[in-house]
Structure 1
Amino acid sequence: MSYSWNWAVFLSPTPSGDATYLDWLLQGLQWTLMLSLGAWVIAFLLGTLLGVLRTVPNRWLSRLAAAYVEAFRNVPLLVQLFTWYFVIPELLPRPWGDAIKQTDPLTQQFLAALLCLGCFTAARVCEQVRAGLGSLPRGQRAAGLALGLTLPQTYRYVLLPGALRLILPPLTSEFLNIFKNSAVASTIGLIELSRQSQQLVDYTAQAYEAFIAVTLMYVLINVAVMFGMRWLEHRTRIPGTIGGK
């Protein structure tokens, strides 16, 4: 093999001279973490709300949530990202659109990617929550209402705590996916982890070292998420259910 390995490239100064290539990767990792965690907060909150709406007796609210899911699950993520970044500012009222277009480009890229990933993943979380609520015994809702709780209170204190515990394993998969899907943000110029690795290759031609390092960083993120979610699942599992004590 004629390839010349050079692991010391990460400690070499960048063309600007104010950082090393390892600093570039760490900066990209920081943007990836900020983007993914922020998008997950949006996805979890919005997805939970939509999942509840899909199971309420109100037909119109249920249909509205179903339409959201169909729209966001059937349009490719990359198309949605371009829509958020290029199209949405043009559809907003002119003062709002101009304000967005006059902000810092990095801020525009980050916000577009954040909203895109959050709304896209929310549609998937919605289906997980709906499935969790549907798996609960029907008597739980009736029991909550019989105790004098309103329907929102029944969801908050009776149904959602049980459903969210049951769907922690599939939610873990969605949480992992959001870190991997964050790489599409590089297509609109956000300098996240995968984009930084491409820059490193462009400047040094050390492709193997760059992508091995990035792969290890993604693996470490996923391992940390898996152990964290496994601990949470262990702490919240319901006795008497599958996997419970």
Structure 2
Amino acid sequence: MNWIAWNKVIAPIEYGGLGFGSLMDANLAMLAKWWWRFKVQEKGLWKRVIWAIHHNSRSWSAIPAKLSIPGQWKQIINIQQHLSRKGIDLHKHTRFPSLFGIVGWRLSAVQLGQQGQEAGELSGLMGILSSVSVSSNLDSVKWGLHQSAEFTVRSIKEILNAYSRLEPGYKFVWNSWVPKKVGFVTWRAKKERLPTRAALQARNIQVNSVMCALCGDYTETSDHLFVSCSKKKKKALNAIVQALNAIVHVTMWSIWMPLANE
């Protein structure tokens, strides 16, 4: 029986999930890493091989690809479509494709009297460059989805994991001192996903009665068992007293042992 939808399980912790993440999102992020490397590794041997195979001298593309050639590179190119559906546009800053298509980076070869789309792009480019002060530093490509301007797989995964999710009004707080399996029970109880009698009946599982097995006065739900049940409160109080007593013992031991070893 599936108690919690998988989409909620893989959601980030801040969105009420367990933070497992999606394997599909992880795969897209890793493929995007190769896309980014092609952009920044100018002298890489593997890039020159890809360029020699997929480059088309009749047209220009930031990331060349001949879709008629099967292989992993075709999958890397196709991530643009998947990422654009989730708010990541890898070609967002390619503003003058027609100019690149004519001369690549050799702007001086473009005739100022040229008409059509190229002329409009050239005019826009000149308008931008008129307010730019050029330095002697080398040009570089920066990643706009991270404050460090460096590409990280994590920055893409965070955006993909949070896409189309709403932050819940209440955020479950995980305690690092508590084992995960213990916190998982509390997380399920908060979502009313423990196999209580009421939850089983709601899932068409036959039960003798939905009343609390301890007090018999109210419907057995997670909220009732852990908060309102009178008999459960007595057991919970005893457990709290024992836990506090154990904390006192451990604290005294932690203070004394360093002193005793000196």
State TM-score, norm by structure 1: 0.26
Higher helix share: 1
State TM-score, norm by structure 2: 0.24
Higher CA-based Rg: 2
